A = this chain, B = another copy of it.
Amino acid sequence: MLGYKEARFTLVNNLVGTLNIIHAVKEVNPDCQIIKLGTMGEYGTPNIDIPEGWIEIEYKGRKDKFLFPRQAGSLYHTTKIQDTDLLWFYVRTWGLRVTDLMQGPVYGIETDESALDERLMPNFHYDEIFGTVLNRFVVQAVAGYPLTVYGKGKQKRGFINIKDTMQCIYLSIMNPAKRGELRIFNQFTETFSILELAERVKRVGEKLGYKVEIQHIPNPRVESEDHYYNPEHTGLLELGLKPHYLTDEVLEKFFRVVEKYKHRINKDAIFRGVKWR
């Protein structure tokens, strides 16, 4: 954790932001669909399969359907659980329509649109707070910095190419949730362990002439480093998602873009030793 002030800001910013959207939609047009970018991080890494948001529970011979119980690995991800609680309350009470996209870590730097003009390129973070792991690894490889694997690196997550993120949001807009529905999709296309990703980046990087070292560092987070992980993710495929999977070719192209902006990499931002404990 950075500290109390940052925790308070994250909590108030995320929850009051969501409350504002909810009340604005209710006031202006309750028929509007709210699409919230949630995160796979809400689920944590339970020892059972992770359905898309909802689960039927049988207990002592009776059944009911519930939001899948969530437990996250950071305060930020905890506020995303709380956002879901908030949306679900107002969906039931005011009949709002909400799609909650439980997104896995995004990677990539280009969409079809951004490729048309450099000025359309998306934000690209590679620092340890906002940078997602694959983006960081590619930058680290290009900058001659060891790939920083937290602990054993057997942590598994569901990943998604930034191009598919855009598709998923588009599909959610074109096929809205019903009034009074909180529709949840698990938004990722493949699962990998962190170590698998590091090894792929090393392989492709070395093919391109980089010297890439993998470094296991003490885990700055409280998390399982070796666990079961099997989240379901059929909803968006059923809506028509055409996934861009992580091939060596995709990774090579990714390297080429980062390479082009190598002179703008700020090596000091790569690792500052922030602890999430």
Contacts from A to B (Cβ < 8 Å): 1, 4, 7-8, 11-12, 15-16, 19, 23, 46-49, 51, 55, 57-60, 62-64, 66-72, 75, 78, 81-82, 85-86, 88-89, 92-94, 222, 228, 277
Minimum C-beta distance from A63 to chain B (A)? 7
Q: Are B55 and A49 neighbours in the complex by a CB distance under 8 Å?
A: no
Minimum C-beta distance from A81 to chain B (A)? 5
Q: 23 A-B contacts, Cβ less than 8 Å apart? A: A7-B23, A11-B15, A11-B19, A47-B63, A47-B64, A48-B57, A48-B58, A48-B59, A48-B60, A49-B62, A55-B57, A55-B59, A67-B69, A67-B71, A70-B85, A71-B89, A75-B89, A78-B85, A78-B86, A82-B85, A82-B86, A92-B222, A94-B277
Q: Are A72 and B48 neighbours in the complex by a CB distance under 8 Å?
A: no
Partner of A66, one of B62, B71, B82, B93: B71
Q: Indicate how many identical chains form the complex.
A: 2
Q: Is the interface of A mostly helix, strand, loop or mixed?
A: mixed
Q: Which residue of B lies closest to A67 (CB)?
A: B69
